[in-house]
Structure 1
Amino acid sequence: MSAPDDLPVVRSLAELAGLVGRHRGLYVRWSRGPGTDLGATSSTDELTGVAMPGLSANPLDVEKWWQDRSVPLWVARRLHDYAHLPHDKGPGVRPWVLRGHETGRGPDNEPLVVDVEPMCWIDSAVIEEARTEVSRQEARWGTLRRSGR
């Protein structure tokens, strides 16, 4: 790859679910991209300004309690809760997939990841597809609205 931000783009929920099915230790990070993040090598707690020992990210590995449910629906659920971040964090923030190792937890109990290997960008169409999938479940799952978002 010629630059950290020159990554393939996942364009469907099925494609991302396939990646999750083939690899363990994947995370999604919402930021301006690996070109910016890998230079810093750590996230900063926004409230205190304290540097944390890794990049904050959210795991994509399917948990055992999910049992034999749909992997695409799992991935949709994982993307749903953080889809507000591009709006909250400003222009240029978008999701990308990385592989790495957890080194600790951040203030929201999110994994802090080191030894980061960028894998791909997630196209905005995947986020819309995830929103649609999760909203289809609302009658069965209940509301997933979060206060303050």
Structure 2
Amino acid sequence: MLPGVPHLRSLAEVAELVEAVSPLYVRFSGGPVADAATVSQDHESGCLLPGLSVNPLTPEPWWDRKLEHWLARQLCQYAHLLAPDRYPWALTGEIAGRGPDCEPLLVSTTAVATIDQSVVDEAAETYEREFRAGAAGR
């Protein structure tokens, strides 16, 4: 948890925050203090990135499903990065470019909230229930 920012404990709380702060992103890392002391790097190429790799929590205009479904999908995309020293946190900032997976790279970031592990668990349950993971498109 970060002093001075809320600690969100449900997808509904994350949804409330997304409705109040836009655009909003999520990052799985050691937190803003740890990130301020490092430079993001593409692990496959070794290239230094011009910002922090994040995933959007604010849905795209074409999204016509529940906000919680978008959030579940976005949180699950990087949940594999969870570790004892890494957690999800919500932030805002300025897009400085795109990473190798076309993810936004943020600079001038501001931490808005931390996200509890229970939210990631709830997101995984929602994702499994609401989506056809791995379904091929046309």
Q: TM-score, normalised by structure 2?
A: 0.89
Matched, 1:61 2:86: no
State the partner residue of 1:103: 96
After the TM superposition, list the runs of 4 or more consecutive aligned residues in structure 1 that deviate by more than 3 angstroms: none
* Match in the other structure for 1:21: 19
What letter corresponds to residue 47 of structure 2 in structure 1? Answer: V
Percentage identity across paired residues of the two chains: 44
Residue 135, structure 1, aligned to residue 120, structure 2: no
DSSP-derived class of the 2:93 partner: strand
Choose the corresponding residue for 2:40, options 43, 56, 74. Answer: 43
For 1:144 and 1:74, the matched residues in 2 are separated by 16
Partner-residue secondary structure (3-state), 2:25: strand
Q: Secondary structure at the match of 2:126?
A: helix
More helix by share: 1
CA shift in 2, pair 1:95/1:10, >3 Å? same
CA contact (8 A) 1:5 1:35 kept: no
Match of 2:70 among 74, 78, 81: 74
Work out the number of aligned pairs and report it. 134
Unaligned runs of at least 5 residues, structure 2: none
